[in-house]
Amino acid sequence: MGKNNKNTTEKVILKHDHFQTLIDLLKEREYRIVGPTLGEGAIVYDDLNTVDDLPIGWTDDQDGGVYRLKKRNDRAFFGYTVGPHSWKKFLFPSQLRLWKARRDENGFHIENDKNEIRKFAFIGVRSCDLHAISVQDTVFMHGIYSEPNYKARREHTFILAVNCGMAGGTCFCASMSTGPEATSGFDLALTEILQEKGEHYFVVETGTELGAEILLNVPHREAKKEEIHAAETIIKNTSQSMGRTMETKDIKDLLYRNYEHPRWDDVAKRCLTCANCTMVCPTCFCTTVEDVTDLTGEHAERWRKWDSCFTMDFSFIHGGSIRASAKSRYRQWMTHKLATWIDQFGTSGCVGCGRCITWCPVAIDITEETREIRKSEQTHSPNNSIKEGNNNENA
C-alpha cells in the first residue's frame, strides 16, 4: 500500500463503465489483480481479468450455518458481503514451502526457497477485512520478529476498498467498530451507487498517494454534495441493518471471570471441532510445519500449513494433548479471539465479519455464546448492569 494521504483529496465520481480502466492501469503496473468472483457455489476471491469476472448482479443470503447465492434485480458490482475466503489466503497462504534440501556426495544442502512474489491488487476489500489485515500486520510484522513472506507480500499490496451497501445476516462489524465504512488502510475506497433511473457510479475516496496517482489516470469528476450524501446514507443504512450485534463492553474481563461457566459444556455438546471457524476467520494465524522427503532420501522439503486450535494435535506435547476436550478447544478459541488477543496484541482478534457463524455446520454463533455468558452474570448479579452501546474497548 502507498503512503497514507487520507482525506487530502476531494471525493470524486467514477462511472461504472470506467472501472475496467482502473483494472487495466493496475495490470499495466504488473499487479496480480484478485477480487470477488463466482466459484465453488459462493463468492470467493480469485484472479480478475476483466470487470465481467466480478459477481455482477449476484448477492448472498447468510445466517448461522447458511450461505446461498441469489440473483439481484440490478447489475451491482459489489452487492453482497463477505464469503468463505478472506485476503489472508494471498498474504498468508494455506501452504507454503519454507525451504528445500538436497543431498549429494558433499553432504546435505539447504536451499532457501525464493518464492517469487507478485505484488497483489486487492479489489473490493470490506472494512471488516481491512481491520483483519491490520490485525495480521500486527501479528506478522509489528512484533519482535517479522515474518518475511507475509511482509514481502503485504508491503506491495494495493488495496481498493468497498464500503458495504448491505449487511449480511451474520455481520456485526458495527458493534465491533470495524465497519461498515472503510476509514483507513486502503489506497482507494468506493461506495457503489445504483439509481432507479439507471445511473451507476462510484463515489471514490483516496487513501494514499499511490491511490491518487492511479486515480489520476482514470476518467473521473468531482463529486456533487448530493452524491456524497447518497454514499453516506448507504453506509448509515448498512450500519443500522447488521444481522448480529456483539456487546463488547468489559468483554475481556467477562471471559476471564467465566473460565468455568456451564455454557462451555453446552457449546461443547454442539461443536464438531471441525475447525471451519478458524479456516474462514480472517485473523486466525495458527500453523504447523511438515517435513517431507522423497523415496530416494535425496530431497527434503519443509512446508508451513494452516493449522487450527480445534485439532487435538495442535496442543499435543509429550504424553498427550493439553486441550483434549471440545469444551477446552472452543473455550480456547473464543477466549483468545475476544480476550487474550487483547493482552497479546492490543486489539480484539475478532472483526465482526460473521464468517465463523455462517460457515459453522451447526450454526454456533460467537455473539450468542458471549451474550449467554453475559446474561447469566446479569441474572445472578443485579448490580452488574451492562449499558447498551458500541463501547468497543478494543477499537
Q: In whole angstroms, how close is the CB of 62 to ligand SF4 at the nearest point?
A: 12
Q: How big is the chain by its Cα radius of gyration, in Å?
A: 23
Q: In whole angstroms, how close is the CB of 225 to ligand SF4 at the nearest point?
A: 36
- What are the grid coordinates assigned to 120, written together? 497483489
CB 23 within 8 A of CB 51: yes
| Of positions 81, 273, 392, 394, contacts ligand SF4 by CB under 6 A | 273
Alpha-helical regions (H) of 293-380 = 326-335, 341-345, 355-358, 366-380
In degrees and rounded to multiples of 5, residue 62 shows phi and psi of: -135, 145
Binding track, positions 215-254, relative to ligand SF4; x by CB under 6 A: ----------------------------------------
Site size for ligand SF4 (CB under 6 A): 25
DSSP letter string, 62-113: EETTEEEEEE-SS--SS-S---S--THHHHS-SEEEEEEEEEETTEEEEEE-
DSSP, collapsed to helix, strand or coil, labels residue 375 as: helix
| Of positions 1, 190, 254, 351, contacts ligand SF4 by CB under 6 A | 351
DSSP 294: -
Using CB under 6 A as the binding rule, whether residue 274 contacts ligand SF4 is answered as yes
Using CB under 6 A as the binding rule, whether residue 177 contacts ligand SF4 is answered as no
Q: Which is nearer to ligand SF4, 10 or 266 (CB)?
A: 266
Using CB under 6 A as the binding rule, whether residue 122 contacts ligand SF4 is answered as no
Using CB under 6 A as the binding rule, whether residue 364 contacts ligand SF4 is answered as yes
Residues 6+ apart with CB under 8 A from 45: 34, 35, 36, 37, 83, 85, 86, 87, 89, 90
For residues 299 and 99, give the distance between their C-alpha atoms in angstroms, rounded to a whole number.
11
Residue tagged 477499537 (cell numbers):
395
Q: Which is nearer to ligand SF4, 79 or 349 (CB)?
A: 349
Q: Which is nearer to ligand SF4, 210 or 364 (CB)?
A: 364
Contacting range for ligand SF4; rule: CB under 6 A; set: 159-167, 225-233, 280-288, 374-382: 280-288
CA distances from 279 to 60, 136, 207, 274, 335 (A): 20, 14, 30, 10, 17
DSSP 218: S
For residues 355 and 313, give the distance between their C-alpha atoms in angstroms, rounded to a whole number.
24
| Of positions 13, 91, 189, 281, contacts ligand SF4 by CB under 6 A | 281
In terms of C-beta density within 10 A (0-12 exposed, 13-18 middle, 19 or more buried), how is residue 290 classed?
exposed
Contacting range for ligand SF4; rule: CB under 6 A; set: 66-74, 88-96, 276-284, 315-323: 276-284
Using CB under 6 A as the binding rule, whether residue 355 contacts ligand SF4 is answered as yes
Using CB under 6 A as the binding rule, whether residue 339 contacts ligand SF4 is answered as no
Q: Which is nearer to ligand SF4, 208 or 248 (CB)?
A: 248
| Of positions 26, 215, 366, 373, contacts ligand SF4 by CB under 6 A | 366
Q: Which is nearer to ligand SF4, 164 or 366 (CB)?
A: 366
Q: In whole angstroms, how close is the CB of 97 to ligand SF4 at the nearest point?
A: 27
Q: In whole angstroms, how close is the CB of 309 to ligand SF4 at the nearest point?
A: 9
| Of positions 283, 311, 335, 392, contacts ligand SF4 by CB under 6 A | 283
| Of positions 360, 369, 370, 373, contacts ligand SF4 by CB under 6 A | 360
In degrees and rounded to multiples of 5, residue 213 shows phi and psi of: -65, -40
CB 49 within 8 A of CB 123: no
Q: In whole angstroms, how close is the CB of 360 to ligand SF4 at the nearest point?
A: 3
DSSP, collapsed to helix, strand or coil, labels residue 250 as: coil
DSSP, collapsed to helix, strand or coil, labels residue 323 as: coil
For residues 62 and 359, give the distance between their C-alpha atoms in angstroms, rounded to a whole number.
9
Q: Which is nearer to ligand SF4, 154 or 337 (CB)?
A: 337
Using CB under 6 A as the binding rule, whether residue 173 contacts ligand SF4 is answered as no
Instruction: State which of positions 296-315 bind ligand SF4 (CB under 6 A).
Output: 310
| Of positions 76, 242, 254, 350, contacts ligand SF4 by CB under 6 A | 350
| Of positions 182, 271, 309, 339, contacts ligand SF4 by CB under 6 A | 271
For residues 367 and 374, give the distance between their C-alpha atoms in angstroms, rounded to a whole number.
11
Instruction: State which of positions 71-100 bind ligand SF4 (CB under 6 A).
Output: none
Positions in the binding site for ligand SF4 (CB under 6 A): 271-277, 280-283, 310, 337, 350-356, 360-362, 364, 366
